[in-house]
Structure 1
């Protein structure tokens, strides 16, 4: 789960609220994102999809599978942990780090597409850009997100968006994925006042 989701407890998605995207909606959004990535890149060559832990990783794998089906070309997929690059680490010291995994060939000269579940304040993506900078020098870095809920605090914009979901800051947007949660859904619910006050993500 991205920190952009303002979870009720660390690592646990919200279970209440209303469903705004179901499994079919998510599938269609990922298919559209896959085609947009191919069109922007003029093919699959040189692409590297880096999923941001946690739910950005399975999303990146799904997009890579769709691209491979369309182009009959295997697209490299990796994972990116941004824990130590976050600017709110002091206020959330219990974050559990994950492993960053990239192809043995590295990221130099590649078109890196960062993949995340929810784009909110932009602070997770800022941390991801810092992490990528430490890994190498890609030819370009782009951003694909399943949901853009607005409320940006930094000048960051997604190149590929599955769903623009206007929301109040006092709401929580939760992405649930089958690989982790056993179901594909995007839900929106009221966030705890403490989470809103802290300005998570």
Structure 2
């Protein structure tokens, strides 16, 4: 499988965000990146779009419903939302959407800060294996992988995509 370069995907995503989201709003949105990969992407997109609100970062570890079931032991980082969420249009950025569980967790945490006017979802890679009904508004690339394959974003400099194959 040919794994694409990240930089051209990010440039396309920035243009799509401008065309599909920002151009339709009366006020500039706020952007939040989900740690870790989504935060790296959001930093790039925030700068490329020259958004005026400061960038928000969110760690959803304690909001995951599979935190203990998968034996996750993340290095928890604090969430930092340096703006009011209430009635704000939010662009939520993550690196990969697969089951939708990360997005559910992010929305749960986001609503603890207030009720946004709207949330647009942006993701670099869409792996259509949904367990929950979330669909991104802007996608860098959609990929079909075998059930045992995974894709990982490496970074922050440079941002790279790597296909993870199961160990034999």
What TM-score do you get using the length of structure 1 for normalisation? 0.75
1:186 aligned partner: 161
Map Cα deviations across residues 141-161 of structure 1 (whole Å, 9 max, x no partner): 111001112211111111100
Q: Would you say the 8 A contact 1:67–1:75 is kept in 2? A: no
Matched residue count: 165
TM-score, normalization by structure 2: 0.89
- Choose the corresponding residue for 2:127, options 133, 139, 149: 149
Matched, 1:132 2:110: yes
Q: Would you say 1:81 and 2:81 are equivalent positions?
A: no
Give the Cα separation in 1 of the matches to 2:30 and 2:3. Answer: 30
Question: Within 5 A, what are the aligned runs for 1:1-201?
Answer: 20-22=3-5, 26-39=6-19, 40-42=21-23, 45-68=27-50, 74-91=52-69, 92=71, 94-103=73-82, 105-177=83-155, 179=156, 182-192=157-167
Q: Structure 2 unaligned runs (5+)?
A: none
- 1:90 to partner: Cα distance: 2.1
Q: Any conservation in 1 of the 2:96–2:126 contact (CA below 8 Å)?
A: yes
Provide structure 1 residue ranges, at least 5 long, that are not aligned to the other structure. 1-17, 194-201
| Cα distance in 2 for residues equivalent to 1:93 and 1:56 | 18
Distance 2:22 2:127 in 1: 25
Pairwise CA distance, 1:184: 2.5
